[in-house]
Amino acid sequence: MNRLERLGARQLQEDFWGVYVIPHARLDAATEQDIENLIDHGVRESRTLDYKRDWPTDRDSRIAVAQDVCAFANTVGGDLVFGIDDKKTGIATKVSPIHVENIDKELLALTSFLRDSLEPRVTGGLIAHAVPIALGGYVIILRVAASPSAPHRVTKDNHFYARTSVGKEPMDIQGIRHAFAAGATLGQDIRTFCTEALARINGLQSPMQDMDGPVFVCHLIPISAFSRYETHGIDSLIAAGQMLRSSRDGPIDIRMKAPRANLEGVVCLPARLQNAMGYAQLYRNGVVELTFGDMLVHSPLDDEDDGLSLFPEIYEIPLVRHGLPAIFQTLAALDIAPPAYVILNWLYTHATRIAVEISPHHVEFLELPSKLAQITAPPLYIESYDVDPLTVLRPAFDVLWNAVGIAHTKTKFEGE
């Protein structure tokens, strides 16, 4: 139900509920022209868009904003735009720039107040960006993501709020019960999606059915994929999927073909004459799946005849260098905003060994627990696409190493 309608020279995105939002997954890409488009096209407030003429400077006005933030976080997220006069009609009519002496200090003060005003506290998914106006001042966009910790309540009045097409409304008891149930469902939906995807890989039903183990799988799952249940058209997926092969060797150090349509969305498969195996799948709901297979290699330091072992650097380095940045670019191309989860899984057969370099001439080969056929790292929460990939991924990489008694990854990354 997600559609993109062209409005003049720019685009505004229509989400599942048929409403418009500021059209950038990376909020810092918003410009004065985006603001002018709201006015030129008479864009109305909606379930994901709210206008404020004035900047909140006192306690009461900030509590009112906290109620709006609570409503967005409890529903499907949205943008609060300060510095837009709607003449109380809900339709953007003119820019009324915000003039403050220290914009960074003001943004920090407001976001800190808002985080502390909600329970449970909103720790991520709350981003502010000031758009400079040529004639002076700013229009300030406060983006609120749908929260995986919903429902939230405002501590100042103890009310839960939800967002509707006409604004925020306090939830009644039935709405609160539904919100708690929906929060539990979100987590279960994500777990079910991953379980079914891994089952397809294990059952040789993935886009590469001849991929041998062990297999490493990285999923990046935007919250919006399961909070809004939006889907993307095949042409948009093909265009965005180009990002998954934009680097010279692709996101998994395999030269990739152009994305092509498949049942789940679009997939990038290895080009011919590639020895390595793997693929990049972009699902219709915006989930990205990177998969590495056939990773067992022989080490000249291995005394075991015909011994094969797994060197984790085979997937760790490319995922940091190319993979995660390519995923972020893909989601930005689809205008899918954070937050999101990164979930790593290892599927392996019995007697899989991990190669651990002790010194340049000494490698130990440690066997993974034979009772396990799968290892899953705890989900990693991403609230911005500007994060350092290694900082994000390192704790998840460590999980496989923990399984053989080593605290942290032994891979040497660039710059270390």
| Residue that is written with structure tokens 């006069």 in the block | 85
pTM of the predicted structure, to 2 decimals: 0.73
Judging by beta carbons within 10 Å of its beta carbon (0-12, 13-18, 19+), is residue 380 exposed, middle or buried? middle
**Tokens at residue 260, please?**
């092509």
CA-based nearest residue to 378, from 194, 227, 197, 212 = 194
Per-residue pLDDT tens, the chain, 416 aa: give them. Answer: 232 232 222 222 222 222 334 655 677 788 899 899 889 888 899 888 999 999 999 999 999 999 999 999 988 888 999 999 998 889 999 999 999 989 999 999 999 999 999 999 887 678 899 999 999 999 999 998 888 888 899 999 999 999 987 789 999 888 888 777 776 777 888 899 999 999 998 888 888 877 777 899 999 999 888 876 778 999 999 999 998 876 555 566 667 889 999 999 999 988 765 556 789 999 999 999 999 888 888 877 777 767 788 889 889 999 998 899 999 999 988 888 788 899 999 998 777 888 888 777 788 888 888 888 899 999 998 878 888 999 999 999 999 999 999 999 999 888 66
Cβ atoms 380, 343 nearer than 8 A: yes
Torsions phi, psi for 7 (to 5 deg): -120, 100
CATH code of 3-171, in short, is 3.30.950.30
**CATH 3.30.950.30-classified regions of the chain:** 3-171
| CA terminus-to-terminus distance, the chain | 46
